[in-house]
Every structure is written in C-alpha cells, then in structure tokens.
Amino acid sequence: MKARTFSLVCLLALLSQTYGLDNGLALTPPMGWMSWERFRCNTDCKNDPLNCISENLFKTMADEMVLKGFKDAGYEYIIIDDCWLDHQRDENGKLTPDPERFPSGIKALADYVHNLGLKFGIYEDYGNFTCGGYPGILGYLEQDAQTFAEWEVDYIKLDGCYVDIHQMDTGYPDFGDYLNKTGRPIVYSCSWPAYWEDEVPDYPKIAQYCNLWRNYGDIQDSWTDVLDIIDHYGDQQNVFAQFAGPGQWNDPDMLIIGNFALSMEQSKLQMAVWAVLAAPLIMSNDLRNIRPEFTEILTNRNVIKINQDPLGHQGRRMFQDKKAQIDIYVKQVLPMANGNTSGAVVIMYRGNDGTPVEVEFTPEQIGLSHFNGYTMFEVFENEELGLVMPAETVKVKVNPNGAQLLKLVANSARMFNGVESSWHPNAIESADSLSSIKVSSMGKTGWKSDDEL
C-alpha cells in the first residue's frame, strides 16, 4: 500500500509559488471538443465524407455542442487536431488548409464557430513537420503566430514531432512570446514535456510559458489506457502536480466518454478522476450520435463544478491498495470554513469481481481534518449524505470498474439543537494509519478466508 498526506498550509504555499503564463487565460481548466482520438487523420472525404477531417465535420460538431447542451454546461472550444493543412505552404510561406476539405478557409470556419458563441482552436507542431507529415512551424514561428491571430484562433495545441527535444526549451517559449505579441488572446497548449520520456522536463519553465501541457502518451479508445494515465498521474504527482493552478494545467489527454470502449461505470470513473485532477475537459467523441446517458455524464454540473473550482488545486492520490485495487484521490475545493478547504474525493475500484466493494475510511485519514466536520454529498446525483466528523467512519460501495465521487463541504460551525459545539481541533485524536482503511468484497462475504481453512 502507498499513502500520501497533505495540509492546507502546504496547499496555500504551493498556490503562492505557482508559475503562470501571463496572458490571463485558462484560469480554470479549458473545456471543449477535439478531433484527434475519435477521427484521427482521416482525409478520405470521397469514401468517408461524414467522418473525414473537413470544415463540415467541425461545423457539425460545433452545432451539436450547442444543440445538446454542452455549451451550456461550460464546453466552449472546438479544436482541429492534425491533418487540416495542405502539404505545402503557399508562395509567401504562409500556412494554408487543404483546399478540398476546407474550401472556405480557416478564418471562415473560425467565424462560424464564433457565431455560435463558441471558441476556435487549431493544431500545429514545433518541428519541420506535424506528426501526420504536414508543414510544421520550425523556421516560421513569428509568421505562423501572426497567421493564427489573423484567423482569430482562440486556442492552439503545439505538438512536438520531428524536432530535437533539446530545442523545445527555447522554441516553445519563443512561440509563446510571438503569440502574445500578436495581441490576440490565445490559449497555449504545449506537448513539450510529453516527448522527454526518461528525462525530467523543466516544469517551472513549462508552467511559465504554457497554459496547459501534455506530459504522457496519447490516450486510445481503451479502458487500459485510462487506467495507465491515472497511474502515471498518481505515481508522478510529486514531479509535476505542484505546477498546476489557474492559467497552467497538467493535461492527461482527452475524454473518450461516448466512444466504443468505456462502459457507463468506466465513463463515470474517467469523468470523476479528470475532475479531481483539475484536468482540461476536452472531449473527443462523435457528438452526432452520442447516447444520452454519456451526455449526462459529460454535462453533469456538479462534477464540472469540482473540475472548474477556482482554487485550481490538482488532486493527489492519497491512498492506493494494489491488492484490493482501490485508489483514493482528493482535491481541495471551495468553500472554505475557518481556514479549511472542502474536499472532493474520488474512490475508484478497478476490480472486475462482479459485485461492488465496500470501502471504509475517515476524512482525517485522507487529509480532511476540519474540526467542525463536513456535510457530505454524492456528486453525480447531488444527494446529501449527512454530517461527518473528521474521525468518523464513512462507508461507501464502489462498483467494479467504477468510482464514487464525494464532496465534503466544510461546515462553518458544528451545531447541536441550535447550539454551537465546543469541538476543538486539539480534541481530535491522532489519525489512524492509512493502512487501516478497510476494503471488503461484498461478493466474498460468505467465503472462508485462508485463516479459516
């Protein structure tokens, strides 16, 4: 078992020391839709006109984002990923879109998105070529930044194929400076640290120049990939979690909810963990035929509120029991009471035994020790579960391949029959060892243990 603890003092210290790109953007994690995971580099509009990378696809997704309530829930960016470009720059060295798939041009597409009240994002690569083999920005940084501003781009993802990684430490900041000099507010998403593999990237510098950054491999339409990314964020949290905050976010990659791989429970788990990690909520799915139950998960206002909490704290893995297959992540959120934050808690169970497990813990075991206690809610259904004190046991059942997402709202005062309690933090006994968090398999309650045989 592995366990970690933290305090409000540590949180405030981290927040006071964060670095940030000085463009005033992405003060909460960006929310939107991106083409890559679901539609990839499909350029065959002759044989697959409904799914190829074209202006029609992005117009349609923008329409669906409005019609199906995603815009009202907070999703605002429509982002083109790779394979939108023509294979060559024009005679003046300017980037141009593929003329058959984007006959109206990028500025007209941006106008269409803006007229829906949404924002427009685009992809490029800090290299000679994009990952798909189209023109990169190397050698054209200033010109391309100006082009994106002229097209009224609001968000740019800059990938890192076909370039020496040691050039990134100067190249990514240089392009960010050119973006700022255009005068247009453009959210800057960097893939800078994702290419460093065994070397530790310069996270203070990355956070200084980027609004968000990818630092792991691309997500695939796979439950295994979701778990792999979650494990990476837990295992490496001491390396990069402290650099997350308003205007600067670690990006574990796209939400694949509503595609082919994830069940309902798995979808709720990805949404819950991404919310607690303060991750950008960038969907990559087909909004034309997404099932209503997946739309409900993606647009759940209570979950989104946790993700968009203005403190900007990236949740930490506070407990892991690999044998029981339980992980607990905790994110500090508002409101505050008596100097203590509230907490969002996701308890995930990656087992597949066929029945839920019961997890027992106390708030103080996972770093929540506010002496006036908490009012606890189940977040997806917004169900109030009652008052819980720091040393009181909480019992929750977690479905296989699923998660429970709780919010513990710090109480300003503990009341009994209208009288304020004299509860005091010095009255709290020492927290139990995290190893005493109990996990019980409900499917084995009639099973004899090894000790009984």
Closest CA to 82 of 159, 175, 174, 176: 159
> What six digits make up the tokens of 147?
């082009």
Q: How far apart are CA 280 and CA 319, in angstroms?
A: 23
Name the active-site residue from 154, 159, 286, 321: 159
Residue 95, CA distances (Å) to 136, 145, 398 in order: 9, 10, 50
Spatial contact of 304 and 71, defined as CB atoms under 8 Å apart: no
How far CA 268 is from CA of 87, 216, 329, 404, 448, in Å, comes to 40, 22, 15, 9, 33
126 half-sphere exposure, CB direction, 13 A CA radius: 27
H/E run at residue 375: strand 374-378
Let me know if 159 is a catalytic residue. yes
Q: Report residue 225 as tokens.
A: 């990939």
Please tell me which residue in 63, 202, 218, 221 is annotated as part of the active site. 218
From residue 252, how far is each of 71, 230, 401 by CA, in Å? 22, 8, 19
How many angstroms separate the Cα of 40 from the Cα of each of 53, 132, 158, 183, 285? Answer: 8, 10, 16, 31, 11
Under 8 Å between Cβ of 153 and 121: yes
3-state secondary structure of 196: coil
For the chain, the first-to-last Cα distance in angstroms comes to 26
Q: Which residue has the tokens 């409005």?
A: 66
Can you tell me the distance from the alpha carbon of 232 to that of 228, in angstroms, rounded to the nearest whole number?
6
Catalytic-residue membership of 218: yes
Farthest CA pair distance, the chain: 81
Q: Is 67 helix (H, G, I), strand (E, B) or coil?
A: helix
- 244: amino acid identity, one letter: A
The residues annotated as belonging to the active site are 159, 218
